[in-house]
Amino acid sequence: MNNKIQMIKNKGFTLIELLVVIAVIGLLAVLVLFSVDNIKSKSRDARRVVDIKSIQEGLALYQNDNQDYPIMDDYITGGDFMSLALENDGAIRGVPTDPLNEGTYRYHYQSTQGKDYVIQYYLETDSIQGRSSGLNTSRP
């Protein structure tokens, strides 16, 4: 009988064991969330680079047809002058915008005389070879 009582007392977990398990699970959850957030940032950066290349290809087609680039100094919204000019010319179906499209994470197009242009965009990470996090620019 005494042996059965001893076995019943030893079947549960101590408070310390439970706290250690909860702490380990919490630590793993934080690591997974941080990793997922970092993967999302890298994915948005990869999309930004592809978007800028698409815009540049559309601008090259537009310039080939019109001998100048659209004149504008503003953010690319998809409904701005440059976007509408490219779409109406058939150079591009739809001008992409930044995946976040808020705050500093927006594409900015500048061409004051139509002879050249600058597209500015921000990257969140250093994951793209040849580009750094922060402000980046593309020219023809």
> Domain residues of the chain, as ranges?
2-138
Q: What is the mean pLDDT of residues 59-75?
A: 97
Q: What is the DSSP letter of 138?
A: E
Determine the Cα–Cα distance for residues 58 and 89; give it in Å rounded to an integer: 9
Q: What is the mean pLDDT of residues 127-139?
A: 95
Q: What is the mean pLDDT of residues 104-127?
A: 97
Q: What is the dihedral of CA 101, 92, 139, 125, to 10 degrees?
A: 40
Tokens of 91: 């150079």
Most confident of 22-26, 31-35, 49-53: 49-53
Tokens of 48: 């930004």
Q: What is the mean pLDDT of residues 80-89?
A: 97
pLDDT for 33 beyond 90: no
